[in-house]
Chains A and B, each alone.
Chain A
Amino acid sequence: MTIDELQDQIIEEFAQFGDWMERYEYLIEMGRELPPFEETHRRPDFLIEGCQSRVWLYPSFNDGVITFEADSDALITRGIVALLVRVLSGRTPDEILGTDLWFIDRIGLKENLSPTRSNGLLAMIKQMRLYALAYKSKAEQS
């Protein structure tokens, strides 16, 4: 499935919810299902410090695709982190760099990406793109 197909799928999943509480319940559940973050990766260089919540993001690059592992101390943030990982992990740098993440807005979570929220999510997306850029130039050099 392409990134865009996956975005459409997530939008459809969220469309079935009647109200906010159901959407949050779903996010919380996804946050809980996110694979546990490797404790040895819980280091300052992989921490994205927000004012409201904190996010950890650990990348690895194998066979041309980037794998992201991530975590957050807040559950709803972790749910959104899980969505981002689901969409962007296991992709090539080009796929990540070429994508426009519209699904966040369409499932009504746009406010979570506003800079004033300072929950680490906006910085996390930026960081994912930066890693993609770095791996891309590394791959091109070798």
Chain B
Amino acid sequence: MPYPEVMAESVKKVEATRERRLRETFPRLTPQEKKALLESYHPDYRSETFRPLAVGPNAGQKVPNELADLLEAFSRIDPDTFDLSRVDYETDVLIIGGGGAGTAAALTAQEAGTRVLIATKLRWGDANTIMAQGGIQAADKPNDSPVRHYLDVMGGGGFVNIPQLVWALVLDAPLVIRWLEQLGVMFDKEPDGTMITVHGGGTSRRRMHSCRDYTGMEIMRTLRDEARNRGIQALEFRPAVELLLDDAGNCVGAILYDLETEEYLVVRAKSVVLATGGMGRLHVQGFPTTNHYGATADGLVIAYRAGAEMIFMDTVQYHPTGAAFPEQILGQLVTEKVRGLGAHLVNCDGERFIYELETRDAVSAAIIRECTTVGKGVVTPTGMVGVWLDSPMIDLLRGEGTIRKALPAMVRQYERFGIDITKEPILVYPTQHYQNGGIVMKEDSSTSIPGLFVAGEVSGGVHGRNRLMGNSLLDILVFGRRAGVSAAQWAKAATLGTPTLRHVKEYHEQLIRAGINTDRISPLVLPDYTAPHTRIRRLGGVPVG
């Protein structure tokens, strides 16, 4: 038994109820029950953790405090003295962010006949995309239809999604899957080519396509390989820290910061695609996160400063099943596919407390309720609390060996720490996972700033207030491809004005007028995980926040 004694006792109870649970079904929530559950337990409803923004297009609207801190902060650049006349790179379409959305945009922009350049923070592909495990949705089976898919997306998002974006998402979906197939992505298939599809939370048809549980990795490495074959250049370790607008207000490039040489570099472009992904590393409300190291909301910060409007930034997606044990992998994702394949969520007594495939917000809220008010969580030796995800159920339901074949990444992840998920349940607790909202865009990926296009997690509106599993990988490809085409079209017609940082100067002035007196600078670029004592010593012993 890999679990310490306090936890092992509870595991026995989980084992004891398996037989019974195999036969019983658990009722789904009624809309009223779901609403009540969310209002009482979902972290989005803890109003003290949000605050209204003081300046900018969304002034007066609430966002998480951690994000507000970055939006109400000053640029790293002094707009009065920075020299924009020395241009380091010149291109037609600048793509900021080398994840799935950015790479897809690069491919279509190049196909449309423009020169493209990618600038990215870490290595090309070090992104949330490469971490996606579970799968990608598309309504391509005979019993399914884009209209059903639409209904599921709207229902999942709370019916506030921007309908035109959702239609683009579901109607492009089969085309995106075919595109991936033709690029050589190895989907899980039957010998005749039929896709093996399963459910995800909130789906009414089994439409989750997968590449084992390395779906994002398989997509990312294929897109990147294709882009390399086509000679597309990526500037790695050079994140964008400010956008450039010309005198007419068009977006005409960006300032990059070389993380190694610490130089600022100027890129002039005719149009810009912003595809910087999400903000998990802000650790909203202190939650751990599933996101990659560079998910720090930079794109939101620089676009907001340039005047782009955001939507649904008052809601954050917590993935219900983040690892709560062992400590070393705290917050890391346990894919929803585990539940999709039939694993139960059970409390310390081995009892189910929620239908596992409710939408993520509801499952997260139910777990938090179980661990707080109900008091049936399992406490670990380091004081974390969680509930069991009873993975061995999968083999009981679907036959011995299923787990190893369908979930190799999960099996390996836990084996590294001595836990065999085919035999033992795993302890989980919600973890910060996805930025539901973002920069408002239209169906062609354009924003309120001419020449600026967005795609992927940094954008908002498609998923309403809650994204369903498998719709983000889809979203980044649907809108990444559209953004590339739109940005190329724009670039072909654009005439370049003189680039300026006037918007930064004006934003600074607004901050000062709003009485924001702070030494905070943003974007964050990378979180600092060094031990507090080293940070203090770095500054010669002065304690810092």
A and B from one complex: no
